[in-house]
Amino acid sequence: MDNESTANNSLFSRREAACRILAGTAGLVIGSQFGLSGLAAEQTHSPKAKAKAVIQIWMWGGPSHLDTFDPKPAAGYDYCGPLDKPIDTNVKGIRISALLPNLAKQADKYSIIQSMTHGISAHETASYVAQTGRMPGDRQVYPTTGAVVSLFRGYDAGYKGLIPPYIVLTEPQGRFSEAGFLGIRYKPFATGGDPAQNRFVVEGIVAQGITDQRQKFRRELLEELNTLKHAAPNNPQLANLQESEKQAYDLILGDAGKVFDLTQEKDELRDRYGRNKFGQSCLLARRLVERGVPYITINYPGWDTHKENFQVMRRKLPELDKGMSSLLQDLADHGLLASTIVWWGGEFGRTPKVQWEAPWNGGRNHWGKVFSAVVAGGGFKGGQIVGASNAKGEEVKERAVYPCDVIRSMYELLGIDTEARLPHPLGLVARITPSASDGVPSGGRLKEIM
């Protein structure tokens, strides 16, 4: 259905309209659409905000907690397999996987939550819970943290960039509709392509093999042959199309898209991040934060290690280690870490007890009872452990932390009112974080590290 408001176009300056169009609103006032005027305005300037941006490293598939940030060497071979010798970090008392040596040198920058829990072991539902803080079954699909931040820190809150405010590198997660009831306007822009390639083709922004000259010819031809558009000069739908087209061309032909040109970075730095999709995505995330983009998800697949878990760990953890440690260091070097939250985690952990038998051959299954998350920067303290799992990493031992606790803490650091109402298409009351009366369990905000 198209519920395009036709009356509001004249209320905006061109620039304002242009910004809105990039997010797909076409001069539609979010407040009037949902009957919540002033919502964004209230949120724009919060004196308490420490964080301006979030980089979410989404470990698609659910990473093993025992093999990363919650090693249990005492649990024995059936739990640790060959990865039974965790290493010390630069923070006394914190040990992590031996396959993360560079991250071990930076433990003072991040804190590890070892008592994450939600009890769900299905990918889609757990992905929803981990990224919305909600529980399923209440007839609502809530928006992810990224969509919420793009509502409160994007175009409605004065963001002026041509680059969309919520970016996913590089593919959408595809587990559920990430914008929930907020709708398509708050979906992330997925770049597609591979930033580790010589030429990073960003879907729609950087095309392959089309010269600027040909772009120009095409644009003129389109203008000449756009007969229906010329026949309906006052149609609000087509005015919207036209505006979004102008903006699209600003991105295609202008300078804003240069943020995706990683050749502008020194080779040595690119090498340090790792010349692979994940490493270069981390570097790109830093560049996007520098340009003021408030939310970036690095969608990092490959952690659903039902089979041959340890081979996968040996292959992938060094890649994670290089990319993520370089990101933390680089953000710090640029003075951005204090204002940028880095949030690492997946939908759940993995079965602590290894399945040695065929066809798993040393695999780990889904595990929602306890898992780990890592947070750094943006006001989160580093060098801390929050909570604990039990001796074999099978259950929460102390200080259960639910996804809503992490999300609530991030909103607080971003200066977003944790009691704020979200616009809802049916006008129902929906808050950005659940309360006790919603029946969503909570262990409280992460006060230990804030």
Partner 1 sequence: MSVASLAAVLLTAVLGAEPASVAPVQPFESPADRTPAGKIDELVFARLKKLGLQPSPLCSDAVFVRRVYLDVIGTLPTAAEAREFLLDRNPVKRRLLIDRLLQRDELADYWAMKWSDLLRIKAEFPINLWPNAAQAYYHWIRTSIRENKPFDRFARELLTSSGINFRIPPVNFYRAIQSRQPTAIAQSVALALMGTRAEKWPQERLAGMSVFFTKIGYKSTTEWKEEIVFFDPNVTSPKDPVKNAGKKVVTDAAKTHVALPAATPPAKPIFPDGTTARIPPDRDPREVFADWLIDAKNPWFARNIVNRTWCWLNGRGIIHEPDDIRPDNPPSNPELLAYLEHELVASHYDLKQINRLILNSKTYQLSSLARGSRPEAETNFAFYPLRRMDAEVLIDAICQVTGTTEKYSSAIPEPYTFLPEGHRSIALPDGSITSPFLETFGRPPRDTGLESERNNRVTASQRLHILNSTHIQRKLEQSPRIQEMLTLGQKSRPLIESLYLTILSRFPTEDEAKIALRYTEAGKKARREAVIDLAWALINSAEFMYRH
**Residues for the chain: how many in total?**
450
Tell me whether residue 2 or residue 357 sits nearer to partner 1 (CB atom). 2
Answer for which of 50, 105, 229, 381 binds partner 1 (CB under 8 A) is: 229
Residues in a beta bridge with 54: 295, 341
Please state the closest distance from residue 104 (CB atom) to partner 1, in A.
33
Contact status: 183 vs partner 1 (CB under 8 A): yes
Query: Residues in contact with partner 1, total (CB under 8 A)?
Result: 95
Q: 231 vs 5, 10, 225, 226, 317, CA distance in Å?
A: 21, 21, 11, 9, 58
Tell me whether residue 73 or residue 439 sits nearer to partner 1 (CB atom). 439
Q: What is the DSSP-derived secondary structure letter of residue 24? A: T
Tell me whether residue 136 or residue 292 sits nearer to partner 1 (CB atom). 136
Amino acid at 323: G
Stretch that binds partner 1, among 88-96, 239-247, 328-336, 351-359 (CB under 8 A): 239-247
Exposure string over 179-212, b if 16+ CB within 10 A, otherwise e: bbbbeebbbbbbbbbbbbeeebbbeebbeeeeee
Tell me whether residue 35 or residue 425 sits nearer to partner 1 (CB atom). 425
CA angle 249, 251, 252 (to 5 degrees): 60
Answer for which of 141, 269, 332, 388 binds partner 1 (CB under 8 A) is: 141
Tell me whether residue 102 or residue 235 sits nearer to partner 1 (CB atom). 235
Sheet harboring 166-169: ordered strands across?
189-190, 166-169, 295-300, 53-59, 340-345, 371-376, 110-116, 385-386
Using CA atoms, how far apart are residues 85 and 80, in angstroms rounded to an integer?
9
Answer for which of 187, 287, 364, 408 binds partner 1 (CB under 8 A) is: 187
Please state the closest distance from residue 138 (CB atom) to partner 1, in A.
4
Answer for which of 161, 441, 448, 450 binds partner 1 (CB under 8 A) is: 441
Contact status: 152 vs partner 1 (CB under 8 A): no
Contact status: 248 vs partner 1 (CB under 8 A): yes
Stretch 390-429 residues interacting with partner 1 (CB under 8 A): 424-426, 428-429
Contact status: 254 vs partner 1 (CB under 8 A): no
**Which tokens belong to 429?**
């009351």
Please give the sequence-ordered ranges of beta strands (E in DSSP) within 269-378, or none if there are none: 295-300, 340-345, 349-350, 366-367, 371-376
Please state the closest distance from residue 26 (CB atom) to partner 1, in A.
6
Contact status: 51 vs partner 1 (CB under 8 A): no
Answer for which of 31, 158, 204, 362 binds partner 1 (CB under 8 A) is: 204
Stretch 260-319 residues interacting with partner 1 (CB under 8 A): 304, 306
Using CA atoms, how far apart are residues 48 and 433, in angstroms rounded to an integer?
18
Residue entry with tokens 């695999």: 363
Please give the sequence-ordered ranges of beta strands (E in DSSP) within 331-416, or none if there are none: 340-345, 349-350, 366-367, 371-376, 385-386, 388-389, 396-398
Tell me whether residue 110 or residue 159 sits nearer to partner 1 (CB atom). 159
Tell me whether residue 214 or residue 315 sits nearer to partner 1 (CB atom). 214
Contact status: 198 vs partner 1 (CB under 8 A): no
Stretch 324-383 residues interacting with partner 1 (CB under 8 A): 368
Stretch that binds partner 1, among 43-51, 208-216, 284-292, 407-415 (CB under 8 A): 208-216
Please state the closest distance from residue 89 (CB atom) to partner 1, in A.
32
Stretch that binds partner 1, among 145-153, 199-207, 314-322, 329-337 (CB under 8 A): 199-207
CA angle 86, 91, 97 (to 5 degrees): 20
